[in-house]
Structures are given as C-alpha cells and as structure tokens.
Amino acid sequence: MSRIPFVILILAVLTVAACSRSKGPPLAGDYPLTRLTEHVYVIHGPNDLPTKQNQGFMNNPGFVLTAKGVVVIDPGSSVQIGEMVLKKITGVTKDPVIAVFNTHIHGDHWLGNDAIRAAYPKAVIYAHPAMRAKAAAEGENWLKLLSTLTDDATKGTRAVAPNMDINNDETLALGGKHFRIVHTGVAHTDGDIMIEVVEDRVLFAGDNIVAERTARMDDGHFKGNIAAVEAALKVNAKVIVPGHGLSGGREVADAYLGYLKTFHATVKKYLDQGMSDFDMKDKVIADLKPYQKWVLFDAEMGKLISLAYLQIEAEAF
Ligand SMILES: [Zn+2]
C-alpha cells in the first residue's frame, strides 16, 4: 500500500469515529407488525411504563403506505425504537419515509424521530404548533427522563423536534392518501393531534385515547379529553389506534370515554358532598371497580383524583 492512500484511510476512519455516536444496543425482543388495513400498519408496544426491560418501548408506532412513500406516526421513545420501526417498514416496502406525524409532546411518542431523520433527511415531521414549541424547549428533559426510566437503554438518542406545523381540520394529501387532523384544544396535552387516514378509515388517536389503561392527566384536562374522544367518535373511522394498548373498533373510544366520564362524575359527586380529595379516595376506587384491571389504576389514582378535584373546582367559577 502506498503512503498517501494509507493516510487518507486513517483520516476517513477518524472522521467516521468523530461523526458516529455512542449508542445503546438495538431494541431486543420481537414485536409483531399488525396490518390494520391494506395500507396501514401498527406495532403495538407493551402496555406499560418505560422500563429497563422494555427499553422504553411502550407506545404504538404506525405507518401508512402511499404512492409517494411511507408516512410514520409516533416512532417511539428512542433512536433504537425508531430504527426498529424502520426495519419493520423495509420488510414491507423499499419506498422511503416521506413524512412523520407526532401526536403530542410526551417523549415516548416522538424521540424516535432521530432514526427517521438520520435515514431520511428530507422527511417532513409534522406536529401541532404547541407541541413543536415545547419539543424545541423540552427535548433534553425528555431524553433524560427516558434514559433514567430505562437504565439508559435509550443511550445515543438525540431530540429531533418536528419541523412543520399542522392544526385542526387541516388535511394533508400525500401519495393518494388524505391525512386529516383533529385537535380540540387541551385534552391529554395542549398540543394533541389525532390523524384520520381518510381512505382507510383509521384514526391514530395519540394519548387522547388509550386502551385498558388509566389516564395520564398531568398536562391535560378531563373535560377537554372527553371532548377530544367525542370528536374522535364523530370521525368516520372503523379502526382506532390508541396511544397505548391494543387497536380495535369504535369500542376502544367508547370504553375510554366511559372511563373519563365516570371518573369526572364520581369525583364531582363526592366533592359536592363536601369531601376532600383525600377522604374520597376509597369511595372513588369502589365506584371505578369496572376499571380496576386497567394498567396504572392504583399507581395514578391519588394524583388523578387531585387533578380532577382541582379542575372541577375551577369549572365552578
Ligand atoms: Zn402522552
């Protein structure tokens, strides 16, 4: 080997080393791909919190095949999960990813953008303006949280914020498919979007609807979330993909609506009787017995009662 090519080779190796990052191992476990309609797919993550065992994979990434390329919804908590989603896509089509929708700010739904952007730099990533503003400001916090909860299984992930606004009732026409956005104000967060894949009659609901799982309302509002689920039920969808838990028909939305309404009405009933949020806890648990097998039922109960209590008090003024 002559001297000059050897020097070039060393420089090339050093450049690659400088550009690459230290990433955690790929996602372990085999998560099946579910075909919902001819052109719409979902990978159901475990209906759980992010843990070391699931490496942060617990949401429902989806994708839609169009004549121009693939559209991804919520590519998960990490670059590793985003790469798993891309692997599933290449098992179905060699077409590129042309667009991504992020349903809301919680990091388990959008940190996988990193993998999509690395593989397809031109893909446009859409989200509600309120979500985009927060993603730019809070990305590092979400990275830290996911890393802590998963014992750093998300290592190497970068926060790639969405780069295009989309808002209520806007419809994006992509490769012969229409993606219609539903946003009804503060619901699970202040920047939720639900995505109707019109031709396929599928609704990606984000965490405005979750299945067999209690609400996370830290950034949300009970009445607003109820309004969002009612709007979801007005969409002409035959398949509903919840943010967590299994997809199904309209009964997925009906069940969550029933839960939210029961929760709100139960807390209101005991508040009207003059009870404090702490004193009503056992009674609320008893009244919500039909939902006691849902994920996070016990863990979230105290906090959810306090949040509902404060919101109902505020609604009285
Ligand atoms: Zn969420």
The pLDDT value recorded for residue 30 is 87
Say how many Å lie between the CA of residue 109 and the centre of ligand 1: 7
SS3 66: coil
Domains in the chain with CATH codes: 24-249 (3.60.15.10)
Cα distance between residue 25 and residue 179, in whole Å: 34
Q: CA 17 to CA 20: how far, in whole Å?
A: 5
In this prediction, residues 294-315 reach a mean pLDDT of 96
* CB atoms closer than 10 angstroms to residue 133: 16
Residue-level pLDDT at 21: 81
Half-sphere exposure for 3 (CA within 13 Å, toward CB) = 0
Q: What is the Å distance from ligand 1's center to 96 Cα?
A: 27
Kindly give the distance from the C-alpha atom of residue 105 to the centroid of ligand 1, in angstroms, as a whole number.
Answer: 7
DSSP secondary structure, 176-216, as one string = TEEEEEE--SSSSSSS--EEEEGGGTEEE-GGGS-SSB---
Region 173-181: mean pLDDT is 98
What distance in angstroms lies between residue 45's CA and the mean position of ligand 1's atoms? 14
Sheet holding 194-197, edge to edge: 171-174, 177-182, 194-197, 202-204, 239-241
Q: Mean pLDDT over residues 43-52, rounded? A: 97
Nearest in space to 207 (alpha carbons), one of 86, 70, 311, 107? 107
The HSE-up count of residue 282 (CA atoms within 13 Å, CB side) is 1
**pLDDT class for 6, splitting at 50, 70, 90?**
low
**Which residues hold their Cβ within 5 A of ligand 1, which is an ion?**
106, 207
User: Given this model, what pLDDT does residue 2 score?
Assistant: 53
Report, as an integer, the average pLDDT of 187-210: 98
Note the pLDDT tens digit of each residue in 276-296.
999 999 999 999 999 999 999
**In this prediction, what percent of the chain has a pLDDT beyond 70?**
94
Q: Give tens-digit pLDDT for 57-89.
A: 999 999 999 999 999 999 999 999 999 999 999
Paired tokens of 161: 């914020």
Closest of 95, 156, 102 to residue 126, by C-alpha: 102
Distance 24 CA to ligand 1 centre (A): 24
Express each pLDDT in 128-153 by its tens digit.
Answer: 999 999 999 999 999 999 999 999 99
Contact 182, 231 (CB under 8 A): yes
